[in-house]
Amino acid sequence: MKRFALFALGIFAVSASAPVRAQDDATAKAVLALPANLRDAATVIKWKSDFTYDTLKKGTSQLVCYDLTGYPKHQPFTVECTSTGNLDRVAQNLKFEAAGDKTKDMLDAAEKDGTRVKPQYGSVWYHFMGPDQEHARMHMTIAVPGATTQSTGLPDKAGQGGVWIMNAGTTTAHIMTPGE
């Protein structure tokens, strides 16, 4: 009887730890977009179908990471991190992206009527994306909503060898960094 009880207890312990391991794996995957020295302090969330989220791990910094693998308009492997102050923007992006062919029209309309959620000025967006994790690439941008060449002195076109502003003058304006 003792052996059976120990066996049953062992089965329970293994099955109870499986969700914890899955959550640890999800947390470890989500922070891959960050430089290694920032990962431990980041919050990790999981987006839900209603564009709200559950917190998988509460961090100590203002950085938040999430997995967008399998989401519309995203590469097959996509993890992203940004400031917690940008979560409303991300939720709006996900909602618009879920509309499929109407995504661009919805984004343009929100930009035009002023309902487009602005990202935090100067916040960093870290992306790690690709056809799979092995072939994914890092990409980092800095949000500068409303910024223009005139307001920053930065060019609004690529190809001059340095950083540049993409989507200048919009809520989507961001500083692009050259290279991968």
Checking if the pLDDT of 179 tops 50, the result is yes
Checking if the pLDDT of 16 tops 70, the result is no
Look-up of token digits 């922070």 = 31
Cβ distance 53 to 61 under 8 Å?
Answer: no
Question: For 93-102, how does the pLDDT look when each residue is reduced to its tens digit (9 = 90+)?
Answer: 999 999 988 9
> pLDDT value at position 9?
39
Q: Tell me which H or E stretch contains 6.
A: helix 2-30
Q: Which amino acid is at 5?
A: A
If DSSP codes are grouped into helix, strand and coil, which group holds residue 93?
helix
Checking if the pLDDT of 166 tops 60, the result is yes
Question: For 63-94, how does the pLDDT look when each residue is reduced to its tens digit (9 = 90+)?
Answer: 999 999 999 899 999 999 999 999 999 999 99
Q: Tell me which H or E stretch contains 39.
A: helix 36-39
> pLDDT value at position 74?
93
Per DSSP, helices labelled H in 67-170 are: 87-97, 103-113, 149-152
Question: For 20-57, how does the pLDDT look when each residue is reduced to its tens digit (9 = 90+)?
Answer: 455 589 999 999 999 999 999 999 999 999 999 999 99
> pLDDT value at position 2?
53
Checking if the pLDDT of 159 tops 80, the result is yes
**72 to each of 107, 116, 149, 150, 156, how far by Cα in Å?**
15, 19, 32, 35, 28
Token couple for 152: 């920053």
d(C-alpha 112, C-alpha 103), whole Å = 14
d(C-alpha 23, C-alpha 81), whole Å = 17
d(C-alpha 95, C-alpha 72), whole Å = 10
> pLDDT value at position 23?
59
Cβ distance 44 to 87 under 8 Å?
Answer: no
Cβ distance 99 to 108 under 8 Å?
Answer: no
